[in-house]
Amino acid sequence: MPGLACAPARPGAILTAAAARDWRVLVVDGDEEVHAAAQAGLQGLVLFGAPVLLLQARSEAEARAVLRRERDLAVVLLGVDAAPHTDWGLVEFLREGLALQHTRIVLRTEHAGPALEQLLRYDIADCRSKAELAPARLQATVAAALRAYEQLCNTEASRRSLERIVQSGTALLEQTSLQAFAGAVITQLAAVLDVPEEGMLCWRDASATDGGGQVLAAAGRFAGLAGQALQALPASRAVQLLRRALVQGGNCHGEQGGVALYLGRRDGQDMAVYVQAPRLRSRADRQLLDVFCTNLRTLRHNRGLLERLHQSAYFDAQVGLPNRAHFIEKVDACARRGARNHILALLDIDDFSAANDVMGHRFGDRLLAAVARRLAEAVPPGVLLARVGPDTFGALGTTEQVVPQRLLECVRQPVLVDGVPHKVTLTCGHVLLPQVAQAGVDLVKDATIALKRAKRDHRGQDLRYAEQMGAEARDRALLLSELRTAIDEARLYLVYQPQRDLRTQALVGLEALLRWRTEDGRLVPPDRFIPVAEHSGLIVPLGQWVLANACATMREMLDLGCAPRRMAVNVSVAQLRDPGFFETVRAALAAHALQGHHLELEITESVAVLPTQLLESTLSALRAEGITIAIDDFGTGYSSLSYLERLPLDRIKIDRGFVRQLREAQGARIAETVTQLGRKLGLQVLAEGIEDAATWQALVDMGCHEGQGFHIAPPMERDALLNWLRAPALV
Ligand code: C2E
Ligand code: MG
Ligand code: MG
């Protein structure tokens, strides 16, 4: 039975249910007796359910014409009289010229027949003499050749089917959603069966006992049914077959065509697909459909795996939000479309790492999750919220949806961590998506620049990215790399500025100040490079170096007998935040056999950003060692008075800006207030930037205890300092 795709197999068509029209048999012979026998034996003959169509040619030229015209020839009966010197021209034309590989060739020859080598080369099925081609024998010969032809065609069709099934697998795996996958199953099945794309895919809860289910995807005349319950659909052949496939868990073929394939069970859901197709009769056809189904089941399973992989690659399970990779992909897709009115905001939890260090990682994890929940509640549907860094969240949406100020306010009420309210603040950097296409990563970078700037200068607030920030960020990056080189090449050194008791003029201390001289002799001001070092975290090792060197100088001066009471070292917030800071200080003192009271640490009001508990415990521990603490540049920061009262401090340093004002009329107020404040709190007060005797006197008069400034001495390198100490110029 010629059920499968006999030649010509349509490209891409795999299983064809249509039966072959007829068997085309060509007789090429110069002998009329052979033609007569063929007519008698083959004309009107029906073999395997299809009629034999006899074609005849009496010369090679005629035969070539027929061959060109009739491509799906099943058998060629070829008379070759000249054997053993057969002219293989026509056979070569058929096999090589026309590439008819499946057509069976039966030679009619009265001689011994060609050599085996030739038979194999041209795939000759049989050799017969005229006597052997009497009608009855001829029928048997042709029937055998047709069988062989059908098998070759079937094998070829199966090979193509499998190829198509493999291809369909690739196409199916590429689908990113279940819906798309379901739609693609219909498309691929229709392609495999070579039928129009007309069908539907259903799934139903495996525990359901009724014939229920839901249409997940539909195509062709079923297209409108997607999303509907199977039960709600009018009873049609398609619905019945689908229901049967789902209930029986197997493929169902309709009597009048149509097939419902059962696609297996996953995650408690049975799935089946129906396509409109003519009835498949052959076992091979059905077997191939089974292969298709098995492949689909595997794919469904693999898709599940893929989804889970995708999930873990693009999802942050800790906070239950998409992760950075996902965020950047979405920003990219959005930005490449040139989205209008879109904003990308990055929100960072202020001092998260300090909280994490002090309160422990478990606390940190819960705090993160709590903030993530707050943010998720604060954004309207449609906004993409993701975790893009350890304590940084990203939001992408329209300018109406994502309002940075509103997001900052979502933590105005303390967040609950293990039922305990915890006060957090967020800082935001944002960028408006340009109307021209741009890469997502670049936009995230821009927003990060704005965020870092906001962290530095506008904590707890929001900052929009501006072009020049990018340039500044690049400058800073350049300066940072130069600074690293300078450190490696030992171009950094310390200078020391003396501090005196303003009343007795006694030398009380030295402040160590960092200097950077470039290769060409330029001095880079610390106000420029210290912030860069702070920003990058480089200040931690750099500060350690400063501390060690200042301690070494102090030890040297003690040994020389010219040391003042204390050595003051500036300390940045990043250093204090470092959990190892206290130990670093202790080790530096021990390394140079110094006592705690030999060292003063100058902190600034920006330490207010540290969690109070961390700050208080660190400062108390330092003071317990005898180390004194001064608050530097007082009045320029934003600390509150309550802060001053609470922190364990020894000294206030009046910023040189206020000291300078002393020379102006009415300029004394702030310096005076700070002095009084310090005295009231029982703190020592030191004035910076004393540049003349009058300022000195004014400070003495207002009760300021100590001072430093060019009027006393400039910051000096070690050698100059030792000279100065031997003969300190009195004011
Ligand atoms: P600061 O701690 O307030 O240091 C005092 C600054 O005032 C020094 O500037 C000093 O040279 C300058 N100065 C001293 N006397 C006078 C004066 O009579 N008139 C004027 N106009 N200025 C005077 P410098 O050395 O440029 O340092 C600037 C800032 O850089 C320091 O301010 C400090 O905040 C930071 N810094 C310097 N070295 C270090 C360091 O080792 N670590 C850290 N974290 N910061 C440092
Ligand atoms: Mg200082
Ligand atoms: Mg200062």
CA distances from 205 to 45, 209, 268 (A): 54, 9, 6
Backbone region of residue 593 per phi and psi (left: phi > 0; alpha: psi in -120 to 50; beta: other values): left
| DSSP 8-state assignment for residue 250 | S
**Has residue 123 got a pLDDT over 50?**
yes
Distance between CA atoms of residues 192 and 124, nearest Å: 33
Q: Which of 66-75, 249-258, 264-273, 639-648 has the lowest mean pLDDT?
A: 639-648
Kindly state the percentage of the chain with pLDDT values over 70. Answer: 92
Mean pLDDT over 615-638 rounds to 90
**Has residue 285 got a pLDDT over 80?**
no
Distance between CA atoms of residues 423 and 460, nearest Å: 12
Q: Which atom of ligand 1 is nearest to the CA of 571?
A: 44
DSSP of 30-59: S-HHHHHHHHHHHTT-EETTEEEEEEEESS
**Has residue 72 got a pLDDT over 60?**
yes
Please work out whether the CB of residue 572 comes within 6 Å of at least one atom of ligand 1. Answer: yes
26-67 pLDDT per residue, tens: 999 989 999 999 999 999 899 988 899 999 999 989 999 999
Q: Which helix (H) or strand (E) holds 571?
A: none
pLDDT bin (cut points 50, 70, 90) of residue 579 is confident
667-696 pLDDT per residue, tens: 778 888 889 989 988 999 999 999 999 999
**Has residue 85 got a pLDDT over 70?**
no
155-200 pLDDT per residue, tens: 777 777 777 777 777 777 777 677 788 888 898 888 888 888 999 9
DSSP of 77-100: EEE--STTS---HHHHIIIIIS--
The SS3 of residue 592 is coil
Mean pLDDT over 277-293 rounds to 76
Choice between 393 and 206, residue whose per-residue pLDDT is larger: 393
| Domains along the sequence of the chain with CATH | 23-155 (3.40.50.2300), 175-311 (3.30.450), 336-368+382-465 (3.30.70.270), 480-726 (3.20.20.450)
Mean pLDDT over 448-472 rounds to 91
Question: What spacing in Å lies between the alpha carbon of 535 and ligand 3's midpoint?
Answer: 19
Report the nearest-CA residue for atom 19 of ligand 1: 689
Please work out whether the CB of residue 58 comes within 6 Å of at least one atom of ligand 1. Answer: no
DSSP of 600-621: EEEEEGGGGGS-HHHHHHHHHH
Q: Which ligand is nearest to the CA of 708?
A: 1
Choice between 436 and 425, residue whose per-residue pLDDT is larger: 425
Mean pLDDT over 105-130 rounds to 83
137-149 pLDDT per residue, tens: 899 999 999 988 8
390-422 pLDDT per residue, tens: 999 999 999 999 999 999 999 999 999 988 899
Mean pLDDT over 244-268 rounds to 86
614, 582 contact by CB (below 8 A): no
* Angle between helices 440-457 and 526-536 in degrees, nearest 10: 120
Report the nearest-CA residue for atom 41 of ligand 1: 514
Q: Which atom of ligand 1 is nearest to the CA of 526?
A: 30
> For residue 103, how far is the Cα from the chain centroid?
55
Residue type, 399: T
354-367 pLDDT per residue, tens: 788 778 888 999 99
Choice between 15 and 504, residue whose per-residue pLDDT is larger: 504
Beta bridge partners, 126, equal: 106
Please work out whether the CB of residue 497 comes within 6 Å of at least one atom of ligand 1. Answer: yes
H helix intervals, 315-351: 324-336
Please work out whether the CB of residue 419 comes within 6 Å of at least one atom of ligand 1. Answer: no
Residue 231 has a pLDDT of 84
Residue type, 703: G
| DSSP 8-state assignment for residue 728 | P
Rg (CA), the chain: 45
Question: What spacing in Å lies between the alpha carbon of 148 and ligand 2's midpoint?
Answer: 99
Residue 568 has a pLDDT of 98
Residue 700 has a pLDDT of 96
**Has residue 430 got a pLDDT over 80?**
yes
